[in-house]
Amino acid sequence: MHKPIIKPALIAHGGAGRRVPVSERAERQRALVAAVEGGSAILREGGSAADAVSRTVVALEDHGLFNAGFGSVLTLDGRVEMDAALMVAELSSTLNANVNIRKKTATRVRAGGVVLVGRVRNPILLSRVVMDRTPHVLMAGRAAERLAREAGLRMCRPEQLVTDRARNRWLATLQAPGKVSRQHGTVGAVAVDQAGNVAAATSTGGVSGKMAGRIGDSALIGAGLFAAANGAASATGTGEAIMKSCLCREAVALLTGVGAQRAAVRAINVLYASTGAEAGLIMIDSRARFGYAHNAEAMEIALFAHPGEIRHLVLDPIAVGASQP
């Protein structure tokens, strides 16, 4: 049986949080659109959702205006500790043992992630190595960095990931001890490819003002990302709240009852009801329909739906606590 041919689609976010300074808006928009262009080129050529979200996130990790890879925020003691992960749900044809000849379509999920890394240029590519080349899902710190070296990934000294912008923000954080603030700029992408496979990827430097060793939601399956047969999601926002409400798993589970947009709004409302925190979410269902919502000040996204142009949107927050759609 042939796999279904789906019109591919991809959506990416550049974090949710306070409004971006006017001086950075145009460049952030350009970078987000360029990143989605790179990912969508893979999808147009028949490539996989996993490759498309990886390429999109790599482009954003390499851009200093986003809080992921180069440009990550710093811990209280001035270090870079990044988290990232990738998850895919792939359709595969399997032999039905009962009738011996008939093939049926099954979904296989795979995932890989890393936490507390500071010596690898692109944590999302290391997540991919964990997924593709190890029996594990999540690896941390020095051992994960060793794996990156062995896999031939681009390594760096931690200080090479620090931008002037991140250093200045860290210095400002030190003036207000105890205050954990979320700098806009965690990145994520979700996609569906022509074969109907879905993928989600999320990468972050975390929250500024965080203690050394703090791990957020971004690399945790079900919290900062999730992919299943029916769709995929990537989150941004207060990691502690996203973890407690398993935001992305919640959003994808809601897809069975409502459409992607309603699922996104409901999931943010569920998070807010139990934590009072701010978060944002992008999602896609296996038929390439988008959902996105946040309750922070601002969130920007870029979308590609075959064969259309890439669109960039700055999203208004949803009215949390209002009656749900």
Q: Please report, as ranges, the residues that interact with ligand ASP according to CB under 6 A.
A: 15, 17, 182, 186, 204, 206-207, 216-218, 236-237, 239, 242
Q: What's the CA gap between 280 and 292, in Å, rounded?
A: 8
One DSSP character per residue, 159-187 reads: GGG--HHHHHHHHHHHHSTT--B--S--E
Q: Which residue has the tokens 């500790």?
A: 81
**Given the residues 186, 202, 236, 275, the one annotated as active site:** 186
Sign for the CA dihedral angle at 145, 151, 152, 153 comes to: negative
In 265-297, which positions are buried (b, 16+ CB within 10 angstroms) versus exposed (e)? bbbbbbbbeebebbbbbbbbbbebbbbbbbbbe
Q: Are the C-beta atoms of residues 117 and 126 closer than 8 Å to each other? A: yes
Residues whose CB is less than 8 angstroms from the CB of residue 66 and which lie 6 or more positions away in sequence, other chains included: 14, 15, 28, 31, 60, 185, 186, 187
CB of residue 136 to ligand ASP, shortest distance in Å: 21
CB of residue 98 to ligand ASP, shortest distance in Å: 45
Give the residue from 119, 25, 2, 19 showing the smallest Cα distance to 72.
Answer: 119
CB of residue 296 to ligand ASP, shortest distance in Å: 9
One DSSP character per residue, 244-276 reads: HHTHHHHHHHHTTTS-HHHHHHHHHHHHHHHH-
CB of residue 30 to ligand ASP, shortest distance in Å: 21
CB of residue 17 to ligand ASP, shortest distance in Å: 6
> For ligand ASP, which is the closer residue by CB, 8 or 237?
237
Q: In the annotation, is 186 catalytic?
A: yes
Active site residues: 186
